[in-house]
Every structure is written in structure tokens, then in C-alpha cells.
Structure 1
Amino acid sequence: MDFTMRRRALAWRQQLDQPLRFNPFVFSKIFLLWVAVGIVGGLIAGLYWTVLELLLHGLGWVEGVYVIPLMGAAGLLAGLIIHRLGDPGEMDLIVNNIRFKGGRLEPGNNPAMVLSSLLCIASGGSAGPEAPLVQVVGSTGTWIARKLRIRGEDLRSLSIAGMAAAFTALFGAPLGGTLFALEILHHKHVTEYYQALMPALVASCSSYVVFVLITHIGIGPTWSFPVLGTPTLNDSFYAVLYGLAGTAVGWLFIFLVRRLRKSFELAAVPIYVKMLVGGLIVGTIAYFVPLSRYFSHDQLQMLLEKPFTLQVLLGLLAAKLLAIAFTVTSGWRGGFIIPLFFVGAVTGLILDQLFPGQNLALILVSCMAAINACVTRTPISTAVLLATMTGFHQFIPIMFASLTGFFLAPKTPLINAQLGRPE
């Protein structure tokens, strides 16, 4: 025993006496691949965002009743693209492929996803670019892995790294984007893909830098939220109460999506007909309630800057919930994370009208956290994302509200692939 102890001590001293050197892992092939996935992801996201902004400005002059035929035509054209090039799937398919298909996301789906999603988002659909970017950048990670003959968990990790890079580019939060890419894959065991944490984080940081350089988007908060007063312990308890309201709205959204999804599935008609109908319905909603149009990246700031009556807020809440639900169930491409943040903000403003004199910033961020955690089952990343995007740096109350939405969510998740292996 003494001899073994002496040998270990000698080996330890020899290690201490060695000159300082760089960690060889930094120069390893796999680390450089993570960086490469992030750089490519940032380039793709930056290009996508640039084209999307051009389309938004190009179609922004269409207002009033003309929004209805515009969105109907956009739905029809996007549907014809999907009918011709193939269905690229939605977030459910992405999660299913990562979990049960070895992490392989098919690059062949990208042309249909890019073209259809740009049309859907730019014309005013209530869904954002997060899902299309996740598919495109995640499948790029798969493509790189295949070209280099990488298999197994390393392939899955590169696909997840691509997903994280896409989330980060859109949200501007490397840590939040990384955790979101891991959490959304499973509604119970986030640690199932812990081995992909470092690849996702490295790719996210690379993607973030490239995306900001291309788009010139600032690195501060996305939205200018009201300033929080002096934090107290009671803020966490209030956050739970406000989170209950956000969770209730989350239940309502899930109910609407499931009912509408069944209705559209019953109709044995081509995808372009469903998307035409969806576009006409969402366009009609946007005509009567203009603030419900688009995926709410800019509209949320408008919501914070202007005063609204209780009646207007209630109407906006109903209109936005219906707009998102019809968008995602009629085949229109896009994600619902940022639109749900908008719904959470509207819910918070309604609470502020009903119970004046409370901390508005706390109400808003609590409702936003709860509804998103309820629908997407991502409590940790939601808290990190909101702290980054709103500048609300009191992390603990956001976490309490986010956990409220997560634990009080319906038993069956909206994203079915989060639950388990399909039959």
C-alpha cells in the first residue's frame, strides 16, 4: 500500500513539474467540427434572416382587407411547393428523428422547408423562423457527419449542435439556445442527451458571433421591458401566482391546437388546399386584429409601448391564440415559441389591468415563462432565454414561474415525440 501511494505521489509531482501547455482537446478534430457546425449555422441563419427581412419589407405595404387574399395566395403557393418538393415535417418530426432515428435530420427536406417557411412567415403567419432554422441547420450537422463518416452518438451530437446553433442565432442567447435544443427533445429527462451539451454550447457560441456579424443585430435584450423594482423574496411567490394564469392560457392553446389539428386531419384534401384555407382564416383574423399578424418579434415591443384597454387586450389574446393555432395546424411552416411569448405578455397585461399596482415586469415575464414551459416542456432554457431577451435579470422568479408551467402542464405533451417511441 505504501509503495502504491508513493508511486501515485511521484506521478502527481511529475505532472506538476511539466511546463504549461494548451489543452490538446481544443485542437482536436471533434472540437473543430463543433466550431464548424456553429459557423455554418450562423451563416445559414444570417442569410435566412436577411432574406426574411427583405420579404417582410417587400410585403409590408399590404394592409387592410388586402391581407386576406395575400395570405391565402401565400398559403396556396407554399402548399404547392411542399406538394411538389415533399413535406419537410415540423418540430414533432425533428424531435422524433433525433430521439429514435439516430439523430439523423434529412438535408433533402431543406429546399421545401426554406421556401415554404419564408412565404408563410413573411406574409404574416403567426409562426416564427425557429423551427425552419432548426431543421436546416440541424440537418447540416447531419450532412457534415455523414461526409466525414461519423456515426453513433457523435452524429447525434452534431445534429443537436446544429439545432442549438439555430436556436441561438434567433434568440441571441447561446446558453439558452443550447439548453433549449436539449430540453425540447424530452419532456422528462433532459440529462438523456447530456453528452451533447458541450458540442451544442460550442456551436452556439460560434453561430452567435457569425449571425451578429452578418445581421448587425445588437447583443442587448431583444425587448425593452419595464424596469423591475427592488427584488424581494415575495417576488418568487407572486411569480408562481402569475404563472398559474400563464399555465391556464397554455392549456387553452394546447386544447385549440388539438381540436383544430383533428379537424384538418379529417379533411382528405391536398396540403395546398389546407394551407390556402389556413391562410384565408389567419388573414381574416389579421384584418380585424392587425397586431395578431406575424410572429410577434417586433409586435411584442409595440405591445409594451402603447396603452391598451382591457377589452382590446382580451380580444387580442383570443385573436392571437386562434391565429397561432390555425397557422400551425393548417400546414403553415414555422415555430410558435416567440408567438407564445407574445401571448404570455398579453396575459400579463390583462392581469395588470385586473389587479393594478403590481410589479408589471414581474407579471409579464412570469406569464411568458409559464405558457412557454407548459407548451414546450422546456423550463430551464425558457428561464435563461427570457432573462437574456428581456433584460429581466432576477433569474429566480422566472424559474419559479417556468417550473409552475412545466409541472402543471397536461399529461400528454403537445409535441408528441417528446413522450416516447411512436407505435
Structure 2
Amino acid sequence: MKFRTRRRALTLRTRVNDSLQFNPFVFSRLFFLWALIGIMGGVLAGGYWIVLEHLMEWLAMVPGLWVIPLMATAGLLAGLVIYKLGDPGEMDLIVNNIRFKGGQLDPRNNLSMILSSLVCIASGGSAGPEAPLVQVVGSTGTWLAQRFRLRGEDLRSLSIAGMAAAFTALFGAPLGGSLFALEILHHRHVVEYYQALIPAFVASCSSYIIFVLITHTGLGPTWQFPLYTSPSLNDCFLAVLYALVGTAVGWLFIFIVRRCRGLFRSRRLPIYWRMALSGILIGTIAYFVPLSRYFGHDQLAEVLRSTFSPQFLLLLMGAKLLAIALTVTSGWRGGFIIPLFFVGAVAGLLLHSLLPGHNLPLILISCMAAINACVTRTPISTTVLLGTLTGFHSIVPVMFASLTGFFLSPKMPLINAQLGVHTDEEE
């Protein structure tokens, strides 16, 4: 049976090679693999999103104080899944493997990642689905490359293309998703993996189309921002000033995360008990500050269309920062990009409540860009992503805000693998 399967795979590769032997165009046979991983990524992301939406809708009906035992149980169940099926690792592991293992992402723990992240996110964890899907689709790219016997940069590029496909499906931004997949890996310069740019872009376009067809999401902005009118050159300088607030919140987030890592550092406590304990803490925060629950996709829209006092905004920002930190350090699965955008928007609303005469959309976008660029060190893709997600038509001030957050970020990054030094986290 194995012999027949290998023979069929070899026959397929031979036919593809033969059919493209005469090729007067720029594209090569690899184009079809880039498009294929994009299609696979769109299918995986679309199916994941539909299941996640149904689970969230069901679990959101849990009333009041019951959210605490719900999240404790969710942490315990997700921890047992990871304990039994294998630990799929975090973003540090992905970056390490791309940099130091030739781009090979291990697909063996994908089932564990899918099941545990669905439980964590749907129950109300303050982390989003982008990181789990990046691991799943990126490792699927590795698997596909191995099936077609790709080596070296071709294999690495296909893995990165899978990562880009996952980012794009969730963000709805093919260019932003492509750049983010490259930029999140960087040590000093985003062009380090420039060979993967076109593969990532092709996969992102394919993934985007499939995801939209499956989920029936619209093509417009994800969040309806206040209209940005009368742009001027002064807005670039103001964006830098507003970005200082977002950057300061980014520093605060990194500080909280590092303290929470110490809280859950003990290896003597099994992961399922650590996650159950964290579930109690996150659930308690969600009970007292309901808007801090979940990863912020829908909650951000609610915050934008509502009016809150400065005191509540300060409370919400602190509660959300702590909830995200507890989520990502205790073993709960999920990413913190969308949650950081949520925190940035809350910080912007808080700043605007103190400076009511200033431009609200510019304050919001500047704080969102700065905090994400500060924490993830992705100023280029952050600019493009926010322009797509919010419909903010003038990206020049956003560029200034993103660069402010990037250049004022801590010298020691939150994602340790971005240092460019091989660590044991991949083992």
C-alpha cells in the first residue's frame, strides 16, 4: 500500500514537471504549490472559524458567576488535550524552527493545537486564533514540501507561505498577512527571507478567496472607525506623540507578561492544573469586567460604538492586559495580535477622553499601531494590516506611529526567538 502511494506521488510530480518543461513565463511549477497551500490554508481557516463562531455563541450564553467554573473547566480540558496529544508549542517555537531548522514545522501536534485552541478561545480566553492557525497551516506547508521533496529555501518558503495564508485568512489582508509572516521572523531586517515574499503573497491571495467563500465574510473593513477627515502634515507629528502612549502600554504589557511567566514557571505542576488555575483567574477578571473576555474581535466594535468614562476605560485596559498575559503564559492557546489592537483602541479612547479636542481616529490608529509594533516588532505589516482592518485611508501617519512603537520597543523582545539566537524552546 505504501509503495503504491509513493508511486502515485512520484507519477504526479513527473506529470507536473513534464507539463511545465516548456515555460516562457516567469512562474515555475512552485507557483502551483504556493497556490495549493493557500487553498488548503483557506479551507482550514474557514472550517476553524465556523466551528469557533458556533462554540463561542454557545458558551457566551453561560450567565454571570458561572463563567468562572466554565473557564476553569475549559483550562483543565484543554490542558488534558495537550498533555495527552502533545504540546504544539508557542510562537517562539515557530520562529526558532523557521530560522534554525530549515523552516520545518512539525505537523504531528496539529490535532492537539486545533482542539486545545478551540476550547481556550471559545470559552473566553484573551488570545486570538491567529497563532494556532499559523502553526497548523505553516506545518501543513512543511508537510506539502516534504511530499514534493523540496529542500532548502523552497521548503522554508512553503512553510512561510502557509503561515502567511493563515494570517491573511483571519485578517482579511493578503499583503498585510504576507508581510506579517515575514516580519514576525526577523532578527534585524525583514528582507532576511525575501525569497519567501512572492510565495507568501500567492498563498495569501488564494487563502483569502477561499476563506471569504467559506465564511461569507465581507470585503470591507473589519471595524467601522470614525471617519478620518482633513489630513495634514501635522498629523504625522501628532501620530508620533500619540504613539508614545501606545508604546508605554506596550512596555507595560511586556512587563506583565514577564511577571506572569514567573508565576507559571514551575514544571512540577502539570500543564492541565496550571491552565485550570489560570482559567479561574481569567474567568474572575471576565466576571467583573465582561468586555475583557474573548480576544477582542467583536468587543472592539462594541467599544467603538459606545461611550465610557475614563475610569472604566482605565479599568478595562488594565483588566485586558492582565487577562492576555495570564492567557499566553499559562499554556492557554492563542495569539495576542488582535487583543493588542483592542488594548490600543481602549488606550486611544482613554487618551481622547483626556484630550477631547484632538482627532479621535488618528489617536485610535496611532495607539493601536504603536502597541502592536512595540510588542511584535512588525512596523511595516502593522501599518498595512491596520489600514485594511479599519479602512483608515491615509497610512502615512500610521507609518510614523508604527515606527515610533518599533524603535522605542524594549531591547529584549517579548518573542525571544526574534533575538536571532538558537534556544532550547524548539526541542
Give the TM-score band, short-chain normalised: over 0.9
Q: Equivalents in 2 of 1:182, 1:56: separation in Å? A: 31
Query: Which residue does the alignment assign to 2:73?
Result: 73
Q: Shift in Å at residue 268 of structure 1?
A: 2.1
Q: Shift in Å at residue 266 of structure 1?
A: 3.1
Q: Equivalents in 1 of 2:44, 2:352: separation in Å? A: 40
Q: How does 1:12-411 map to 2 (within 5 A)?
A: 23-26=24-27, 28-266=28-266, 268-411=268-411
Q: Secondary structure at the match of 1:266?
A: coil
Moved over 6 A (4+): none
| CA contact 2:182–2:193 (8 Å) conserved in 1 | yes
Task: Pick the structure with greater CA Rg.
Answer: 1
Q: Equivalents in 1 of 2:284, 2:327: separation in Å? A: 12
Deviation digits for residues 214-253 of structure 1, max 9, x if unmatched? 0000010000000011100000000000000000000000
Q: Secondary structure at the match of 1:232?
A: coil
Q: Secondary structure at the match of 1:358?
A: coil
Q: Shift in Å at residue 187 of structure 1?
A: 4.0
Q: Equivalents in 2 of 1:366, 1:23: separation in Å? A: 46
Q: Shift in Å at residue 54 of structure 1?
A: 1.0
Q: Equivalents in 2 of 1:344, 1:392: separation in Å? A: 15
Q: Equivalents in 2 of 1:299, 1:62: separation in Å? A: 17
Q: Shift in Å at residue 421 of structure 1?
A: 2.1
Query: Which residue does the alignment assign to 1:10?
Result: none
Q: Equivalents in 1 of 2:244, 2:176: separation in Å? A: 23
Q: Secondary structure at the match of 1:269?
A: coil
| CA contact 2:187–2:420 (8 Å) conserved in 1 | no
Q: Equivalents in 1 of 2:167, 2:24: separation in Å? A: 29
Q: Equivalents in 1 of 2:24, 2:224: separation in Å? A: 41
What is the identity, as a one-letter code, of the residue corresponding to 1:148?
A: F
What is the identity, as a one-letter code, of the residue corresponding to 1:368?
A: M
Q: Equivalents in 1 of 2:64, 2:358: separation in Å? A: 36
Q: Secondary structure at the match of 2:109?
A: helix
| CA contact 2:174–2:208 (8 Å) conserved in 1 | yes
Q: Calculate percent identity across the aligned residue pairs.
A: 72
Q: Equivalents in 2 of 1:128, 1:25: separation in Å? A: 38
Q: Equivalents in 2 of 1:41, 1:78: separation in Å? A: 23
What is the identity, as a one-letter code, of the residue corresponding to 1:372?
A: N
| Alignment CA distance shift 1:227-1:22 (3 Å) | farther
Q: Shift in Å at residue 58 of structure 1?
A: 1.4
Q: Shift in Å at residue 312 of structure 1?
A: 0.5
Equivalent pairs, count: 402
Q: Shift in Å at residue 186 of structure 1?
A: 1.3
Deviation digits for residues 101-128 of structure 1, max 9, x if unmatched? 1100111010100000000000000000
Deviation digits for residues 56-96 of structure 1, max 9, x if unmatched? 11112013101000000000000000000110001110111
Q: Shift in Å at residue 150 of structure 1?
A: 0.6
| CA contact 1:349–1:364 (8 Å) conserved in 2 | yes
What is the identity, as a one-letter code, of the residue corresponding to 2:378?
A: T
| CA contact 2:221–2:389 (8 Å) conserved in 1 | yes
Q: Secondary structure at the match of 2:87?
A: coil
Q: Equivalents in 2 of 1:23, 1:405: separation in Å? A: 45
| CA contact 1:145–1:158 (8 Å) conserved in 2 | yes
What is the identity, as a one-letter code, of the residue corresponding to 1:212?
A: V
Q: What RMSD over aligned residues (CA atoms) do the two structures have, in Å?
A: 1.1
Deviation digits for residues 310-338 of structure 1, max 9, x if unmatched? 11001001100000000001110000000
Q: Secondary structure at the match of 2:218?
A: coil
Q: Shift in Å at residue 363 of structure 1?
A: 0.2
| CA contact 1:25–1:31 (8 Å) conserved in 2 | no
Query: Which residue does the alignment assign to 1:13?
Result: none
Q: Equivalents in 1 of 2:26, 2:408: separation in Å? A: 42
| Alignment CA distance shift 1:137-1:351 (3 Å) | same
Q: Equivalents in 2 of 1:60, 1:266: separation in Å? A: 32
Q: Shift in Å at residue 37 of structure 1?
A: 0.7
What is the identity, as a one-letter code, of the residue corresponding to 1:89?
A: G
Q: Equivalents in 1 of 2:267, 2:305: separation in Å? A: 42
| CA contact 2:88–2:109 (8 Å) conserved in 1 | yes
Structure 1 gaps, min length 5: 1-20
Q: Equivalents in 2 of 1:176, 1:85: separation in Å? A: 33
What is the identity, as a one-letter code, of the residue corresponding to 1:361?
A: P
Deviation digits for residues 375-401 of structure 1, max 9, x if unmatched? 000000000000000000111000000
Q: Shift in Å at residue 267 of structure 1?
A: 5.5
Q: Equivalents in 2 of 1:91, 1:130: separation in Å? A: 10
